[in-house]
Structure formats: structure tokens, C-alpha cells
Amino acid sequence: MGGGAAGFFGAIACAEANPDLNVILLEKTTKLLSKVRVSGGGRCNVTHHCFSPAQLVQFYPRGGKHLKEPFKQFGAQDTVQWFERRGVPLKTEADGRMFPTTDSSETVAKCLEQAAQRAGVRVLTSTAAERIEPLAGGGFCLYLSGNQELRVGKLLVATGGNAKSAAYDWLRHLGHTICEPVPSLFTFNVPNSPLKELMGVSVPQARVVLAGEKLEYEGPLLVTHWGVSGPAVLKLSAWGARRLHELQYTGMALVNWAPAHTEETMRQWLQSFRNENGKKIVAANPLFGLPQRLWRTLVEQAGIGSETRWSELAGKLQNRLLELLLRTPLPVRGKTTFKEEFVTCGGVPLSEVNLKTMESCRVPGLHFAGEVLDIDGITGGFNFQAAWTTGYLAGRAMATT
């Protein structure tokens, strides 16, 4: 059940492992692989160039400690080989993300659809399972939309994540508990942002800290018309998903625009620069590789005049500038979510699943894959990798047991 990445991968793995089986994939909407098609800005970040399971698990805020063995069975390198064997070579970008060489998510979607077709998978769209009942002798009866019934020997649930707890009630009915779902991988709304005139400005490295919390992340940062985004913010939101939910997405984010510096080293560096470049106008000469627009804004907010030279700069104003470089305060008042960024934190607990087969420990013949499980990674191809891995293990197990 589920026509996304995990559902397709599971169906293909099952059908290829046992061609005699009748494998049916159900999708309640008319659209297949919708998340694959929109991910990575339409390029599809298939996986990450991290071929060590011990290292790969470190990119999962939830589920990481349980995924080491599954990744040994089918990891990122296996994903690369799987797609290459089917005519879709991947390339690695500087940050480790891997995309199809075509830079088109449609290439990945078509590959999965064609692989399913070749393996004999029947794909039914606009077909929702409204109720599922285990059968006394094993297997399940699926009560489908349109008053149809479908009896199956084994069932893979790959329905994705959902922010609404009630969406998991049917799994509770089958005997599973649910880790309450909350959003992960979102950007920060800053309605009263001191940077609101800087939409589109980005820096390659900044550190974002949530004041009063043990939450921080370093990476590229993008200023938007609603607040801040970019990997530093998205990854911080993933690690802090539950805490940020408790805080109702409010708090003070502090941005360090020069994370290589401590307060002491920056103070020394600024003083040294000032001594050697006294005639230079502060606002006109950006430091630390910062974009001109951002630098001018920080200088202005520090109260430094547009024509002030370093030799004329009062110590008090230099200290204000230092403070803004290290800790620009951004009052966060909510989150913004986009389809390609949204991931659910929560779902079926991994303690209730056999991680070798992805089979339920509570309901024989019921398997899980993808985001319906309490697994979520940061941005960079990690969520798709979890989908490929769990889908593959579930499909293979369903074909042989």
C-alpha cells in the first residue's frame, strides 16, 4: 500500500525475488511517486555518498541507532548500483548529495515505474484501503474504496508520514502503538526579521543556535522573504523536531555568520584588521566572506555610519558589530513547510518491527517501509535511502517467507 518510493521499491523487490507471486501496488490518489518527482527541486536527491553504515546512521535524528544492520544489507552503495543496473547512473555533488546525471527526477520516477512493469507488478491508482482486517488463517482482507474487497497473503504498508495522529488510527486498530507525529525539516518564520530586506542572500557557512536550548547546526543559510531557510535551519529543525513542537515553533534563533571564530579570536582579528586598514570605510568593505548586502545591514544595525572609517570607529560600536556577527537575534514565530522539505517525525516504533524483514512483531504478515516508520533523516538524500532500504528488505522478505 502506497505508491511512493518505499512502496515501489518494496513491490519491485518482492516481484523480482519471486516472479510467481501476484504483487499488487495500491495508491489512493491518481499520482504515483509524487514526492520523488518534486524532491531536490525536481532533480531528485536519490541518496548520499556515504557508504559506511556506521557513518550513515548518524544522519538520522530518529531511527539511526536501529538502521546500522539494515544498511549493511542494503545501503547507499547498493542504491547506486541498483539504479545504474537499470540505466540511471548517479553523480555526487560537493556536499555528498547524489542525483541522476540527467538532473531530472522524472528519470528516477520512470525507472521505478518501468522496473515495476517489467517485474509484473500490478499498479492500481485511485484505490484506497478503507479498512484492513487480519484473517483467521493468515493474511488480510482489504476493504477498498468502491465497495471492493481484496484478500492478500502479506501486506506492505508504505503509506508515508502524516502530521495528523488520527491518520494512524487504523494501525492502532491492528495492534500497533504510534510515536506521535510532528513535522520535521521545516524553515523558520521570522515576521519581524531584521534581515527582511535581504531576500535571496545566502552564506555558505553559518551556525544557527536556538537560545536557551541545546540545539544548534552549522551549514549554508538562506535569507527568505518569510525568515530563514537553507540546510543549517532545516537540519536544526530535524534534530529539534519534538522540542520545537513543544515550544510551538517560537523562540530566539541566534545566527553566527563567522562560525570559524570564537568571540576572543574575532575580537583579535577585528582589532588587527582595524590597525592595518584604518582608512577603509567599514560599510564598504565586507569581512569574513559575507555578501555586501548582508555586511551593510549588520554594520547599519550596529549603529555605524555609512561613511565611517575603521580608524574613526568607536569601541562601543565595534563591540556591537562583533555581537551581531556572532549572535544576530531572529525572533522565530512559526514554521514554513514545502513539499520537498516536509518529513514526519513519528510513526510506527521500530521496537515493534523485525528490522531484518520489516515485519510487524505484533501482526504476522504485516510489513512496513518508508516514512510510516519512526525513521527520519536530515536533508541530503537520507530519507530516500531509508525508503529504499526498508522497502527492499520488506519486499525480499515477503517473497521468501
In this predicted model, what pLDDT tens digit does every residue of 167-182 receive, in sequence order? 999 999 999 999 999 9
Please report the pLDDT score of residue 80 as a whole number: 98
State mean pLDDT over 309-333.
98
Share of the chain above pLDDT 90, in %: 96
Please report the pLDDT score of residue 337 as a whole number: 67
Task: Reduce the DSSP state of residue 335 to 3 states and report it.
Answer: strand
State mean pLDDT over 151-177.
95
Instruction: Give residue-wise pLDDT tens across range 337-384.
Output: 654 457 999 999 999 999 999 999 999 999 999 999 999 999 999 999
Closest by CA to 389, choosing from 62, 82, 16, is 82
**For residue 385, which phi and psi values (nearest 5 degrees)?**
-60, -40
State mean pLDDT over 273-281.
97
Instruction: Give residue-wise pLDDT tens across range 18-38.
Output: 999 999 999 999 999 999 999
The answer to whether residues 142 and 149 touch, using CB atoms and an 8 Å cutoff, is yes
Task: Reduce the DSSP state of residue 209 to 3 states and report it.
Answer: strand
Domains, the chain: 5-183+339-399 (3.50.50.60), 187-336 (no CATH)
Residue 249 pLDDT > 60: yes
- pLDDT tier for residue 94 given thresholds of 50, 70 and 90: very high
Question: Strand locations in 240-296, DSSP E?
Answer: 250-256
Task: Reduce the DSSP state of residue 24 to 3 states and report it.
Answer: strand
Average pLDDT over the chain reads: 96
Question: Strand locations in 135-272, DSSP E?
Answer: 140-144, 148-152, 155-157, 179-184, 187-189, 202-210, 215-223, 227-229, 250-256
| H or E stretch at 95 | none
Residue 127 pLDDT > 90: yes
- Residue 69: CA count within 13 A, CB half-sphere: 8
Lowest mean per-residue pLDDT among 55-69, 206-220, 259-273, 326-340: 326-340
What whole-number distance in Å separates Cα of residue 67 and Cα of residue 56? 9
Q: Look up residue 4 and give its amino acid.
A: G
132 strand-pairing partners: 142
Please report the pLDDT score of residue 401 as a whole number: 63
Please report the pLDDT score of residue 146 as a whole number: 86
Q: Which three cell numbers stand for residue 153?
A: 497473503
- pLDDT tier for residue 67 given thresholds of 50, 70 and 90: very high
What whole-number distance in Å separates Cα of residue 304 and Cα of residue 27? 59
State mean pLDDT over 36-57.
96
The answer to whether residues 327 and 216 touch, using CB atoms and an 8 Å cutoff, is no
Please work out, in degrees rounded to the nearest 5, the angle formed at the alpha carbon of residue 156 by the alpha carbons of 75 and 114.
65
Instruction: Give residue-wise pLDDT tens across range 300-315.
Output: 999 999 999 999 999 9
**For residue 101, which phi and psi values (nearest 5 degrees)?**
-65, -20
Please report the pLDDT score of residue 252 as a whole number: 98
Please report the pLDDT score of residue 163 as a whole number: 86
Contact residues for 182 (Cβ-Cβ < 8 A; gap 6+): 163, 241, 242, 245, 344, 345, 346
What whole-number distance in Å separates Cα of residue 392 and Cα of residue 358? 9
Contact residues for 165 (Cβ-Cβ < 8 A; gap 6+): 178, 180, 181
Please report the pLDDT score of residue 352 as a whole number: 98
The answer to whether residues 329 and 118 touch, using CB atoms and an 8 Å cutoff, is no
Please report the pLDDT score of residue 340 as a whole number: 46
Q: How far apart are the first and last CA of the chain?
A: 19
Lowest mean per-residue pLDDT among 51-60, 195-204, 249-258, 337-346: 337-346
